[in-house]
Amino acid sequence: MSDLDARKAEARRSALARRKVAHEAAGPGRAGVLSSLLAGHRGVPLAGYMAMRSEIDPLPAMEEAAAHGPVCVPVIDAPGLPLKFALWEPGCVLIDGPFGARVPATLAFIEPEIVIVPLVAFSRAGGRLGYGGGFYDRTLEVLRARRPTLAVGFAYGAQDDPDLPLAPFDQPLDVIVTESGVITPGG
């Protein structure tokens, strides 16, 4: 294991513990700030995610956005590949996909222009630490090569890590939304 990999593993352990505490203490309305941010992008194809474990849940914001335009969720094809995104609508039938993520039973793929990105930790400079599979880094790189794509990190404020270890291939976040506000890297 390289020094960077060891530092990332330790950062993940620490951030997951902080996220668990924040998740247990959080009350309703955690996606309100996210909904406000997305209101300025009505109708733009949006990718959310189905929250797992102690991830902050974007579902209320996704439901609101779906009233104005297409919303999709990530589908893992295989390790090492970018994500695909399947059209999602409130109340659609979901099944268990790879890695336990819920996906629509009927897969109709679209390409988002805004991606709500789950994460383990973030830095105010726009850094993101995920689970280590590289799915979102590969996906954002591909999407950004095709067109401008807004990467919105969604996390609890407790997941902030000013000393986040990053690699050159880690894709930056354009904005970070927490339960209490919006962080614009470099802003």
Average pLDDT over residues 108-125: 97
pLDDT in tens, 13-47: 999 999 999 999 987 778 999 999 999 999 999 99
Shortest CA distance to 75 belongs to which of 97, 50, 55? 97
> Model-level pTM?
0.94
Domains of the chain plus CATH, in order, are 3-183 (3.40.50.10420)
Compute the chain's Rg from CA coordinates: 16
